[in-house]
Structure 1
Amino acid sequence: MTTEVRSLREFKMPDVGEGLTEAEILSWYVKPGDTVTDGQVVCEVETAKAAVELPIPFNGVVEQLFFPEGSTVDVGTVIISVAVAGEAGAAPATAPAPAAPAPAAEAEPERREVLVGYGPRTGTAQRRARRTTTTTTKAAAPQPAPVAPAAPAPTGPVAELQLGERPLAKPPVRKLAKDLGVDLRAVTPTGRDGVITREDLHAYAEAQAAPAAPAVEPVVVEAAEAVVAPVPVSGAGDVRVPIKGVRKATAQAMVASAFTAPHVTEFVQVDVTRTMKFVRKLKESGELGRDVRVSPLLLVAKALLVAIKRHPEINAQWDEAAQEIVVKGQVNLGIAAATPRGLIVPNIKDAGSKTLAGLATSLGELVETARQGKTSPADMQGGTVTITNVGVFGVDTGTPILNPGEAAILAFGAVRELPWVHKGKVVPRQVTTLALSFDHRLVDGELGSKVLADIAGLLEFPKRLITWG
């Protein structure tokens, strides 16, 4: 015969990325009184790098949620406590005492790996109803709820958090709703399976547009996506936008980079007429694969990788503590991507070893994952050199700031038809401007100039990419 005892175990906010110090709780999938199992996802959090789901590392019954949705919590802070069943004073018996009843199930649920955490999650896990809150709700810790089949209704600030259905929408659409100050629950979905689309949001916003009074009142928003919607603060229509998440991390990283690494930027104009023709040929022939997206950025990336192979010293990092320059053994090529969460720089691991077809596949996967808002923290760690494609915005060039810890970043400008001297005649040609910024502690003017000249030469005569790559 056994006597069951219960003890409380606390789950702390983990560091789901490299060196991150805080994360925002986007949504809770459990509430006090719920039974949880090892590996079950209990909440979704947003760090400065990505949104990830957190699994609990033990079995038990939820005792208390220490922070409501929308709270920013330091790494290492307790966010949930769980009453864990144990045994004490066990006596010999012919059969072991039955374990605490688990939720009924017909069969063992399929288990699959999670993005981060302590174990696999079940394939049949269901998200619980979404909580909503007003902009006036403070991030106060809720009062502990007793573990019982029917917990009493909370009081105080927690009373403002009510359960409701979570509208279906993709992360970019949720970000747009936040920017527009639109409550997704008020929008009528027209997408497949009841998913709210961008068009639905714009249609709703236009229908609501009117010369309304600028009085500021609490705005109900989805706390998991944004605690506070942009709020006018003066008659002139000023808007305050909270600086957090990816935007906050980007600002801090750029300031640190600008004031620690001595930047030098060099520019070159390149006749890329042959490159543009080569891109069209690859698209039409399908030789890289029918489902592979071919773009000028692909050839720019390949040209940079070939130039690094010829001048590996530019693929380096400054080690301040050891006072050493570390030349990296492989190239992890970062691609700056503007996403609904802000600017992120995921990277292609060991990009220098890939063929043109392999690079095209990896680049397509990277871009699609970023667009869906599913880039993991691991995909944004360990970059060694970066490309920023400012040309997609119609910009000719710029002076890009280094991604922290990297020695170089290449800006690819817009491709324009310009008058150009070609074979002794002035004729219209496809021309772009490249800008290479580098850390002058690691890269001197000669090395930077050679790398940029190599990239320009490869794009002017792209068939060399096949020979040298």
Structure 2
Amino acid sequence: MSTQNFNLPDVGEGLTEAEIVAWKVAPGDTVAINDVICEIETAKSLVELPSPHAGVVGELLAAEGATVEVGSPIITFVTDARDDAGPGVIATAEAPAPEEGGGSVLVGYGTGGGATSRRKRPAERPVRSSVGVIAKPPIRKLARDLGVDLTTVTPTGADGEVTRDDVMTHAQQASVFRNIETPEWGAVREETVPAPQSTPSGLARGLSPAPASASGRSDDRTESIPVKGVRKATSSAMVQSAYSAPHVTVWKEIDASRTMELVKRLKASPDYADIRVSPLLIMARAVIWAARRTPMVNAAWIETEGGAEIAVRHYVNLGIAAATPRGLLVPNIKDAQDLSMKDLARALNRLTLTAREGKTSPADQQGGTITITNIGVFGMDAGTPIINPGEAGIVAMGTISQKPWVVDGEVRPRWVTTVAGSFDHRVIDGDGMSRFIADVASVLEEPALLVE
């Protein structure tokens, strides 16, 4: 028997630290290779760490909520040396373990150089519940995260197994017009409401006692929230954008009734039976179409040794600002200009699901060229969004609601929304901004413009 340390790995993002979100094991538990031992959160993603050893959990060396540097020990295992997979190598959870000498691994931990041989990960076996549903553990976790009752899902996998697509489709059918949905938050949110005097200090609404602030003060009325992970990365990016790019915002109120009619027809079409459709799909197509007519909104300001240059991209990596339980993420759909309406809808579906799972990869958040933020899902009519760094424009879509609207000299109830856009005035001037927003608005007013 031997005791093995497991050091926090670099999960392939080049980051230097991560937070221990939740331990899935306790001292004394018996684990197999690739059993999930904990969840960690980096500035980019939430990752499940699999065990590199088969044996018994010895000691948890980092507390939940602690921020740990890559390479620091976080857990010990008591193992049989003959069954050990090696302290420096572990197969990724996303793919089967590679044979000796190649493949994808989690790196950045273990003793110098690590071992060179690897044990193949055991095949993941479906788990049958007491009610007879067959689904693999990741699918069960996905269903829990989305609030889907697996007993109500129609399975399409082999031998009646529920697949990822089955769960996704079921979840999509539960909503009508929302795209990046407001997460199902728990009863406790970030609050700064003073705690009642009758409540023990710092424990109102299930919150932890407030730590002392930088000034050394701590009382019942103040809660300190550490800035880390996604919040830290977002704040840094927003400050960089707001204080480097001169923002100008323009907006237009429009009649989106024909967009709503098109969404309704697409929902009823057999071709879209397994695809979630919302007004965001039409908005995405409108932005792509309008960017082709005004390319400067899809450009970027690049600082160079000799001064600066403007890079005009002749492709659209369409970013979608997503509110998730982990904070604001902006994944993007690569080469969105090449996608059909149906393929774009599928891409939006995948982006939504991945963001809600907290599994958006760093690669999916890099290389964006223009972004849409759908503030309408929060009931907002309009806003002045901050440009995503590396881009020159961001479009905000407000809520779509029925309002009185003048049509042919008569006041009628119509579906009305507001489209706003913020732009980098170093890259694009007022006439270009206005033409772009007018083009987006014209498509939402008459989606038939997309038929060319």
With normalisation by structure 2, the TM-score equals 0.67
Q: Which amino acid aligns with 1:311?
A: T
Q: Against the structure 1 CA distance between its residues 404 and 15, is the aligned structure 2 distance closer, same or farther, given a 3 Å change threshold? A: farther
Q: What is the letter of the counterpart of residue 432 of structure 1? A: T
The secondary structure found in structure 1 opposite 2:82 is coil
Deviations 1:197-216 (A, max 9, x none): x999769xxxxxx9783323
Quick check: 1:285 aligned with 2:269? yes
Conserved? CA contact 1:311–1:451, under 8 Å: yes
Counterpart amino acid of residue 251 in structure 2: F
Secondary structure in 2 matching 1:277: helix
User: Does the 8 Å contact 1:270/1:432 carry over to 2?
Assistant: yes
Correspondence for 2:279: 296
| Distance in 2 between residues matched to 1:410 and 1:230, nearest whole Å | 40
Measured in 2, the distance between the counterparts of 1:337 and 1:435 equals 17
Alignment-derived partner of residue 255 in structure 2 = 271
Output aligned runs, 1:56-455, within 5 Å: 67-75=62-70, 100-101=82-83, 113=95, 117=106, 121-124=121-124, 170=144, 213-216=198-201, 229=208, 231=210, 234-235=219-220, 237-287=221-271, 289-321=272-304, 323-455=308-440
Q: Is the 8 A contact 2:3 2:76 kept in 1?
A: no
Partner of 1:3: none
In structure 2, C-alpha distance between the alignment counterparts of 1:200 and 1:451, rounded to whole Å: 36
Q: Is the 8 A contact 1:54 1:116 kept in 2?
A: no
What is the Cα deviation at residue 326 of structure 1?
2.3
**Do 1:387 and 1:409's aligned partners in 2 also have CA atoms closer than 8 Å?**
yes
C-alpha spacing 1:363/1:62, structure 2 compared with 1 (3 Å):
same
Instruction: Tell me the alpha carbon deviations over residues 136-178 of structure 1, each in whole angstroms, 9 at most, x when there is no partner.
Output: xxxxxxxxxxxxxxxxxxxxxxxxxxxxxxx9995689xxxxx
Q: CA deviation at 1:13?
A: 4.0
In the alignment, the residues of structure 1 paired with residue 317 and residue 44 of structure 2 have an alpha-carbon distance, to the nearest angstrom, of 17
Q: CA deviation at 1:462?
A: 0.6
Measured in 1, the distance between the counterparts of 2:65 and 2:93 equals 29
The answer to whether the Cα contact below 8 Å between 1:52 and 1:376 also exists between their aligned partners in 2 is no
Distance in 2 between the 1:343 and 1:116 partners?
A: 28
Evaluate the alpha carbon distance shift between residue 432 and residue 113 of structure 1 in structure 2; reply closer, same or farther with a 3 A threshold. same
- Supply the AA of the counterpart residue of 1:276: M
Q: Are 1:457 and 2:445 matched, yes or no?
A: no
Give the superposition deviation at 1:392: 1.6
Judged with a 3 Å threshold, the aligned counterparts in structure 2 of structure 1 residues 82 and 14 are, in CA distance, closer, same or farther, namely farther
Residues 267 and 434 in structure 1, CA contact (< 8 A), matched pair in contact too:
yes
**CA radius of gyration, larger in:** 1
Tell me, yes or no, if structure 1 residue 46 matches structure 2 residue 41.
yes
SS state at 1:421 partner: strand
In the TM superposition, what is the alpha-carbon distance from 1:44 to its structure 2 partner? 2.6
TM-score normalised by structure 1 residue count: 0.64
**1:14 maps to which of 4, 10, 29:** 10
Q: CA RMSD in A?
A: 4.4
Q: Distance in 2 between matches of 1:111 and 1:71?
A: 23
In 1: Cα distance, 2:237 partner to 2:370 partner? 15
Amino acid at match of 1:273: S
Counterpart of 1:272, as a letter, is A
2:154 is aligned to none
Write the deviation string for residues 398-448 of structure 1: whole angstroms up to 9, x where unpaired.
000011222111000122333333234443332211111111222222222
Q: 1:83 to 1:448 in 2, by over 3 A?
A: farther
Mean CA deviation greater in 325-334 or 419-428: 419-428
What secondary structure is seen at the aligned counterpart in 1 of 2:44?
coil
Contact 1:415/1:431, CA 8 A, preserved across alignment: yes
Q: Is the 8 A contact 1:40 1:122 kept in 2?
A: no
Q: Which letter maps to 1:314?
A: V
Give the CA deviation at 1:306.
Answer: 1.0
For 2:72 and 2:302, locate their aligned partners in 1 and report how far apart those are by CA, in whole Å. Answer: 31
Instruction: Supply the distance in 1 between the matched residues of 2:348 and 2:293 (Cα, whole angstroms).
Output: 22
1:65 is displaced (CA, Å) by 6.4
Aligned length: 366
My pick for the range that moved more, 453-462 or 47-56, is 47-56
> In 1, are the aligned partners of 2:5 and 2:73 still within 8 Å (CA)?
no
Taking a change above 3 Å as real, the CA distance of residues 273 and 52 of structure 1, as seen in their structure-2 partners, is same
SS in 2 for 1:404: coil
Q: Which runs of 5+ in 2 are unaligned?
A: 86-90, 97-103, 108-117, 127-140, 148-182, 189-194, 212-217
Q: Within the alignment, does 1:23 sit opposite 2:18 as a pair?
A: yes
